[in-house]
Homo-oligomer: A and B are copies of this chain.
């Protein structure tokens, strides 16, 4: 590679905390740019999250349908959820899978970790494939209203093309799972 990190490095001058919320925090940083000028950067702090592609024993994929307030739309996505403080991503994946779908996975395999929006947030999503599923008790969070639905790979590919599945983490997760 012709370029190193130092070509682009910004130096932090000042950081202002603007909001501390239930899921996200917001801060505004003032930085010195490589040309010596100053710039501002708005940063949404996120604890990180997991996304899971659960494959049933007959080869179908479990998705979750829920209302997403920020986009005012009912969406069909892979199961996902944010990390609790100090929680390891694998543990979070198993917990969220059980909470949202009622299944325990005997085989959990990491597919990737990715940044969702590195331009304004530090959110990382750890993506897993879950197989060897066994039913347990479904325990959704108190303020989550979620339906689980299972689909064949072909149905999922059609829903990706039609735009019914249209969030970035689900698209990446399903592609990486070979759906």
Contacts and interface: CB of A to CB of B under 8 A. Distances in A.
Interface of A: 1-3, 5, 7-10, 18-19, 21-24, 26, 28-29, 31, 33-35, 37, 39-44, 46, 49, 65-71, 73-75, 77, 80, 82, 112-123, 125, 142-143, 145, 147, 149, 163, 166-169, 171-172, 175
Given A21-B28, A42-B24, A33 B143 contact: yes
A114 B167 contact: yes
A24 B120 contact: yes
A26 B26 contact: yes
Nearest to A28: B21
A173 to B, nearest CB: 10
A118 to B, nearest CB: 4
B5 A74 contact: yes
Contacts of A67: 5, 8-10
11 contacts: A3-B74, A3-B149, A7-B145, A10-B69, A23-B42, A41-B69, A44-B121, A71-B122, A116-B168, A172-B172, A175-B175
